[in-house]
């Protein structure tokens, strides 16, 4: 007979909460954004441009498969694969897909909110040219945040301890944020603005700011961070950041944006000195306007669980490996 200790009961209770969130949230997200769940690859062919290069310096796990004449690599995210999948599925504008993405990022700098193993709800939807505006991006962010609020309310109904969350997201451009807190680093600025508003979406991530630095790095070939928007700043992307009272710090829940079109991809490849990528399969299909216009992003599964269940370390909600002394 197995005797459950108090600690074991705590772990089982936590696992129940994780399961509730992972069942409920993607269903609400799919309803709000008109998404269909699809299966996702664990690895893709090397040298095609479909793997996410993240900031352009991280190296994926690469290996060979029996009787396959080319190497493959484990995905780091599905930012580019999803756009190809939209094309293959022939979805109509404002319809999209969502996947349970599993990835390995061996170069990750691990922390209480970062691990080598990544689990995300990776989503992508087809859009029209007139949707390539900040206003459309904001409307989508509001829908994602409402799914977070819905999930928090569900946990309350399940008699879980819940967070007192703001009713809406505060939007700010990264340049405006710099001007508001000019003496702080980007992460310090995120902490200040998140603590003030509780939920904030920082727009325009990846392009140079007036101090000749970027708020955070972005690869040149998925989010559009160079196009001037209707609010007078560059960038059609951003990060959804929540104030985490348990950790007393900001927590990035999602990185997302309107994706590059042919013009912005060409511009951003040039700015990042990555013009050689234009010959890769993914990039040539964007440049030749084969793939549909889209927007998308990733929402951290473990991060949402640790946030809503008020845990201080991602290892509390995820099985993984961390360097000695970091747990």
Catalytic residues, which ones?
52, 105, 120, 239, 252, 255
Q: Are strands 72-74 and 43-45 parallel, antiparallel or unpaired?
A: antiparallel
- Report how far residue 89's alpha carbon sits from residue 91's, in angstroms, rounded to the nearest whole number: 6
Alpha helices in the chain (DSSP H): 6-33, 81-89, 134-157, 174-180, 186-197, 262-271, 281-287, 301-308
Q: Distances from the Cα of 90 to the Cαs of 29, 30, 300, in angstroms?
A: 21, 18, 27
Cα distances (angstroms) measured from residue 293 to each of 67, 123, 231 = 36, 14, 21
Give which of 104, 145, 72 is closest to 297, Cα–Cα: 145
Polymer length of the chain: 327
Q: List Cβ neighbours of 126 (8 Å cut-off, separation of 6 or more).
A: 86, 91, 92, 93, 94, 95, 96, 292, 293, 294
């Amino acid at each position: 007979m197995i005797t459950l200790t108090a600690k074991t009961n705590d772990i089982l209770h936590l696992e129940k909460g994780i399961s509730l969130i992972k069942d409920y949230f993607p269903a609400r997200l799919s309803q709000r954004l008109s998404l269909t769940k699809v299966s996702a690859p664990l690895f893709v062919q090397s040298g095609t441009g479909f793997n996410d290069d993240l900031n352009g310096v991280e190296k994926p796990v690469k290996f060979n498969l029996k009787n396959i004449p080319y190497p493959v690599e484990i995905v780091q995210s599905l930012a580019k694969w999803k756009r190809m999948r939209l094309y293959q599925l022939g979805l109509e504008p404002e319809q999209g897909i969502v996947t349970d993405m599993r990835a390995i990022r061996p170069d990750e700098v691990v922390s209480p909110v970062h691990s080598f193993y990544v689990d995300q709800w990776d989503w992508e939807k087809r859009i029209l040219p007139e949707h390539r505006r900040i206003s459309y991006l904001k409307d989508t962010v509001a829908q994602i945040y409402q799914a977070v609020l819905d999930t928090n309310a569900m946990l309350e109904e399940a008699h879980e301890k819940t967070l007192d969350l703001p009713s809406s997201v505060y939007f700010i451009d990264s340049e405006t944020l710099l001007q508001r807190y000019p003496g702080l680093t980007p992460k310090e600025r995120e902490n200040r603005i998140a603590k003030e508003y509780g939920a904030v979406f920082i727009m325009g991530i990846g392009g140079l700011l007036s101090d000749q630095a970027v708020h955070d790095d972005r690869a040149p070939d998925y989010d559009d961070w160079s196009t001037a928007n209707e609010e007078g700043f560059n960038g059609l992307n951003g990060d959804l950041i929540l104030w985490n009272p348990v950790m007393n710090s900001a927590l990035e829940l999602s990185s997302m944006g309107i994706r590059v079109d042919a013009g912005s991809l060409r511009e951003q490849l040039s700015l990042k000195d990555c013009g050689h990528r234009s010959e890769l399969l993914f990039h040539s299909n964007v440049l030749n306007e084969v793939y549909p216009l889209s927007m998308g992003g990733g929402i951290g599964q473990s991060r949402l669980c640790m946030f809503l269940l008020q845990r201080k370390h991602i290892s509390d909600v995820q099985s993984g490996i961390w360097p000695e002394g970091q747990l």
